[in-house]
Amino acid sequence: MSNLNVTHLEQQAFTRSTPVLPTSESKGVEIQIKNLHKYYGQVTVLENLDLNIQAGEFLAIVGRSGCGKSTLLRLIADLEQSSSGQIQLDGKQASHQPDVRVMFQDPRLLPWRSVVDNVNLGRSKAQKVQAFTLLEKVGLKDKSQLWPAQLSGGQRQRAALARALLHRPKVLLLDEPLGALDALTRLDMQQLIENLWLDQGFTAILVTHDVSEAVQLADRIILLNRGEIEAQFTVDLPRPRQKSPAFTQLEQEVLNAVLAT
């Protein structure tokens, strides 16, 4: 985005031909998931799941509806307890992790608070300056005093993104955050998320039904099926990604794998 500073990491990412993880500068954490099980009554949603996510990695999760993607994100965010198994963030148990933020398909803004007060939620008026800075970064500088109802769907998601990033999270979990947006707004938001990820270095996990979006943004894509990781794909394409024969080929490969589940 034009209103973001281009860091050296971003410049590296633009020029290198392999995926760039902002590891050395990373403010992200490593996530280690071992033998994870989640049952709802008799229903097994996640079964013996093992997954390591590098600090600063951008991981995408795809899979058919009901395969357990949101459940996995809720467990990582400690919004729900696993039935058994471990989730560790930089070697520590994932409970009470203030550094993990989640962004959902629905922006969940409070209608009775202004945009800036939504972003600054739970913090003092003196700290509002950071909320304004983030609103500027997401392109909402002029909208900060409006009510959420006065924003478009895409603008509400930008505000939700600013709110999620206010505390400089080490992990950002994205559960289909762009699912309800039109195609053009979606492309803008993808670019914004990628730039903020490059700028801030958090570990990102994106759940999406859009395989093209997964190839556009992720370093690695995992396919969930019946509670297990059915397949993994490394996205070895330079950023920012353009539709190239290699892009389209990988997109087709992932799509075929999803359709085969």
Ligand X SMILES: Nc1ncnc2c1ncn2[C@@H]1O[C@H](COP(=O)(O)OP(=O)(O)OP(=O)(O)O)[C@@H](O)[C@H]1O
* Of residues 22 and 63, the one with the C-beta less far from ligand X: 63
Q: Supply the minimum distance, in Å, between the C-beta of residue 67 and ligand X.
A: 4
Q: Supply the minimum distance, in Å, between the C-beta of residue 70 and Mg ion.
A: 3
* Of residues 116 and 223, the one with the C-beta less far from ligand X: 223
* Of residues 20 and 51, the one with the C-beta less far from ligand X: 51
Tell me, residue by residue from 102 to 141, as one string, x for binding to Mg ion by CB under 5 A and - for no binding: ----------------------------------------
Q: Supply the minimum distance, in Å, between the C-beta of residue 73 and Mg ion.
A: 8
* Of residues 14 and 66, the one with the C-beta less far from ligand X: 66
Can residue 71 be called a binding residue for Mg ion (CB under 5 A)?
A: no
Contact 38, 68 (CB under 8 A): yes
Beta-bridge partners for 250: none
Q: Supply the minimum distance, in Å, between the C-beta of residue 5 and ligand X.
A: 35
Of ligand X, Mg ion, none, which one does residue 67 interact with (CB within 5 to 8 Å by kind)?
Answer: ligand X
Q: Looking at 70, 97, 118, 212, which residue binds Mg ion (CB under 5 A)?
A: 70
- Cα 21–Cα 27–Cα 29 angle in degrees, nearest 5: 80
State the angle between helix axes of 183-200 and 153-165 in degrees (0 to 180), rounded to the nearest 10. Answer: 10
Stretch that binds Mg ion, among 16-24, 27-35, 48-56, 70-78 (CB under 5 A): 70-78
Q: Supply the minimum distance, in Å, between the C-beta of residue 71 and ligand X.
A: 3
What CA–CA distance (Å, rounded) separates 153 from 105? 10
Interface residue list for ligand X (CB under 6 A): 40, 45, 63, 65-71
* Of residues 74 and 128, the one with the C-beta less far from ligand X: 74
What CA–CA distance (Å, rounded) separates 6 from 199? 7
* Of residues 131 and 223, the one with the C-beta less far from ligand X: 223
Of Mg ion, ligand X, none, which one does residue 68 interact with (CB within 5 to 8 Å by kind)?
Answer: ligand X
What CA–CA distance (Å, rounded) separates 101 from 115? 18
* Of residues 20 and 207, the one with the C-beta less far from ligand X: 207
Chain centre to alpha carbon of residue 246: 24
- Contacts with Mg ion, residue ranges (CB under 5 A): 70
